[in-house]
Structure 1
Amino acid sequence: MTARHPYVAVVGGGIGGLALALGLRRQGIEAVVHEQAPGLAHAGAGIAIGANGHRVLRELGVAEPLAATAVRPLRADFRHWRTGRSMVAHRLADTYEQRFGAPFWTVERAAVQQALLTALGPRHVRLGARCTGVEQTADAAVIRFADGSTAEADAVVGADGIHSAVRHSVFGPDEAVFSGTSGYRALVPMERLRHIPELAELVLWLWFGPGRHFIAYPVAAGRLLNFLAVVPDRNWTVESWSAQGDPAVLRAAFAGWHPFVTEILDAAEHPGRWALYDREPQRTWSTGRVTLLGDAAHAMLPHHGQGANQALEDAVTLARLLARTDAGRTSSALRAYERLRRPRTRLLQAGSRKNAGCFQLPDGPEADARNARLATLPDDLAWIHGHDALGALHTTAPEPV
């Protein structure tokens, strides 16, 4: 009998799930995305795409259509929370790309998701399909859905986020780890911010202060400013992209900060707010014909700006490994994927937790030492942004057997 490629069912229609399905189909492998929502959500505001993520978008054929709306910030500028003094700035627009071989982008999450969906084709996405469990037989993996239907595949990939139903079904219950902080996000039209002269430049702004921090950058070809304001609050535990924050509470949390920050907050009419969680690294992602991807496998805090980038790296790696194998050897491909990806994502999970404290130090010797270390940031982060997921696959990944 002639060997055939595996048929793959992906649970979750976020960036990672769509990227995997697109990568598989570009390799000639049948894949369908099962998404629980009735429509693909366009929430989440802005994200940063580093060179490591951009390489994947280029491989998937969506970098060019995204270029029209993505922004290439001129520099990353680290500012003192009260005085506005620039502690250090690093060139991005040209120097970064020369070093890492691809640009640094800031872009709306929805734009990335839409570009992937357009390239994949909506007929390969099944909406309103809420996964309730996954079972395995000798020859297949079977997804069960809330409406009573099932789907059978040679491989099932859980790309369904931090509260993954696939992970819970296959590996059992576990608890998300609450950071004790929450993040406010909003997209503010630049026309409301014309009175802030610094915003005439397209810059990634990072403001560090005692107990909280503020990050802002342009998206949508510079028409919108995305911000993330992280504050301590052990009582706000709602993890939702759609939960609304109180603008007055947000402004009060940054009282005394530089006018650059407070005036942006004043212009945000309906900031979203969500509690920040991650998870302890999984001991394993794969069992039999089932594996995990993105936040389902390695949920991390947003303090490295790598969540979407790591999901993209996962996707292109897994797609290539599955393309090397046949339906009867799917489990070996999933194990190879995990062996290649798990060490890197564990380091990023730990680094994101560590950054939370570094970003929010009070003025004093520790903050001064952190500021001095910012000068070497491009070197310190080269292992993240310089990574080539396909290159790593070619040089270190074992062949599925």
Structure 2
Amino acid sequence: MATHRDLSIGVVGGGIGGLSAALSLLAAGFDVQVYERASALGEIGAGLQVSPNATRILHGLGLEKELAETGVRPRALLQRRWEDGRTLLDTPQGDRLEAAFGFPYYQMRRADLLAALAAAIPPERLHLGRRLTGLDQNHDVVRAEFADGSSADVDVLVGADGIHSFVQGELFGAERPRFTGCVAYRGLIPSDRLSHLSLEVTTQVWLGPGRHFVHYFVGGGRFLNFVAVVEQDTWTRESWTDRGDVADALAAYDGWHPQVSAILGTVEETYVWALFDRPPLPRWSQGRVTLLGDACHPMLPFMAQGAAQSIEDGAALAACLAENPGDPAEALQRYERIRRPRAGHIQSLSLENKTRFHLPDGPGQQARDAAMADGATNLSMNAITAIYGHDATLLPAL
């Protein structure tokens, strides 16, 4: 009978999903190697939110101290009206959320979380500059071939290589992600530039016709992360992420509440990021190869669950392989059966929020606001319980 240490696992991709999966697999006792195409680790985007369903896993991997040092614990999530600033929904976070779910909610710089994950990986297991160019598998082994001419034979290969996933294309055929009709201006602002606004330590989501605006503190409170999402018919830039024009962002929010324009007025540099997704895949796995994170369920960031779901994927994958190391292909099928419905559901909730956040003023918007006042939206305390209370390390009974 195969044991954990007999099983070698290659993880393709050194982002948050790939590194957290590698740590979960290492903690389960597997022989893990990570292959990242870039010569240095990096993450697209400035900030992210790490909800209790993810901090539960990260604490279990020994990163509690690192999260506390670099994360910010917001008091609440506020959803506000674009013009008058009225609070439509106040969802508790902070101590109340931790008491409800047992683990904290953090706002963080992506770079801080990535650095914490990378520091926990033994350096000899992290291989940079290794771009995957081919893979081949038989009943017993997967061979990964890289652009530098090297190769690796592993028992299991995990594609954590993002929305452009090479592994996904090799398994099921290349499929171009779809432009969702939204672009996001994003960046970080030193907090001292905003001291005159006396901003609360909250996540604030401003809802308005055809766009929304998000801001929250990161980096231990040293920076304010902002994301300004605007509907746009087409995307013509060659890069998915490029320098944006601050004047364009200001113009897009002309007439909005003074707090929004005041925040944007302090911005010196912004990047613009096209938001892409893909319909849920019918399959994630083939033989001894599987996918996780954006490689199989890229989602809009409107539930703040993209990173959390990739972290859940890695924990569930490790648990499935630990349960059945003697039959990796069946373990991957079990992983897929467990994870695909949950990730697909959260994908759909994220897509629904694109419509809900951007309603034009009128009857639909008024009905939305009334539902929010009743706590009936998917970011209310009642609605998020199924997301935040989930423990991906616990597998359902066979």
Output the TM-score relative to the length of structure 1.
0.94
Secondary structure of the residue that 2:263 maps to in structure 1?
A: helix
In structure 2, distance between residues paired with 1:159 and 1:43 = 15
**1:137 positional shift:** 2.1
Secondary structure of the residue that 1:344 maps to in structure 2?
A: helix
1:316·1:389 contact (CA, 8 Å) conserved in 2?
yes
- The answer to whether structure 1 residue 154 and structure 2 residue 155 are counterparts is yes
In structure 1, distance between residues paired with 2:351 and 2:262 = 29
Residue type of the alignment partner of 1:337? Y
2:9·2:154 contact (CA, 8 Å) conserved in 1?
yes
Q: Which position in structure 2 is the counterpart of 1:289? A: 288
Q: Which position in structure 2 is the counterpart of 1:389? A: 392
Q: Which position in structure 2 is the counterpart of 1:116? A: 117
Give the percent of matched residue pairs that are identical in Structure 1 and Structure 2.
Answer: 46
Q: How does 1:1-400 map to 2 (within 5 A)?
A: 3=3, 5-197=6-198, 199=199, 201-238=200-237, 242-326=241-325, 328-375=326-373, 376=375, 377-391=380-394, 393=395, 396-398=396-398
**1:106 positional shift:** 0.5
**1:86 positional shift:** 1.8
Secondary structure of the residue that 1:67 maps to in structure 2?
A: helix
Change (3 A) 1:389 1:238: farther
Farther off after superposition, 4-13 or 82-91: 82-91
**1:42 positional shift:** 4.8
1:144·1:151 contact (CA, 8 Å) conserved in 2?
yes
Change (3 A) 1:241 1:217: farther
Structure 1 unpaired stretches of 5+: none
**1:313-349 superposed Cα distances (whole Å, 9 cap, x missing partner):** 00111112222333x5111111110011000011111
Change (3 A) 1:2 1:74: closer
**1:378 positional shift:** 0.9
1:239·1:276 contact (CA, 8 Å) conserved in 2?
no
Farther off after superposition, 163-172 or 86-95: 86-95
**1:63 positional shift:** 2.2
**1:22-57 superposed Cα distances (whole Å, 9 cap, x missing partner):** 111112211011000000015421101111111111
In structure 1, distance between residues paired with 2:240 and 2:156 = 29
**1:169-199 superposed Cα distances (whole Å, 9 cap, x missing partner):** 11111121211111111011011111212x1
Secondary structure of the residue that 1:195 maps to in structure 2?
A: helix
Secondary structure of the residue that 1:194 maps to in structure 2?
A: helix
**1:5 positional shift:** 3.1
Residue type of the alignment partner of 1:172? G
In structure 2, distance between residues paired with 1:163 and 1:64 = 33
**1:251-279 superposed Cα distances (whole Å, 9 cap, x missing partner):** 11111111111111121211111111110
Secondary structure of the residue that 1:390 maps to in structure 2?
A: coil
- Cα-Cα RMSD: 1.6
**1:113-135 superposed Cα distances (whole Å, 9 cap, x missing partner):** 11111111222110011112221
In structure 2, distance between residues paired with 1:183 and 1:304 = 15
Farther off after superposition, 155-164 or 66-75: 66-75
Residue type of the alignment partner of 1:304? M
In structure 1, distance between residues paired with 2:91 and 2:330 = 43
1:43·1:241 contact (CA, 8 Å) conserved in 2?
no
Change (3 A) 1:82 1:397: same
Farther off after superposition, 376-385 or 277-286: 376-385
Secondary structure of the residue that 2:167 maps to in structure 1?
A: helix
Farther off after superposition, 212-221 or 359-368: 359-368
Residue type of the alignment partner of 1:339? R
1:142·1:151 contact (CA, 8 Å) conserved in 2?
yes
In structure 2, distance between residues paired with 1:383 and 1:153 = 36
Change (3 A) 1:2 1:51: closer
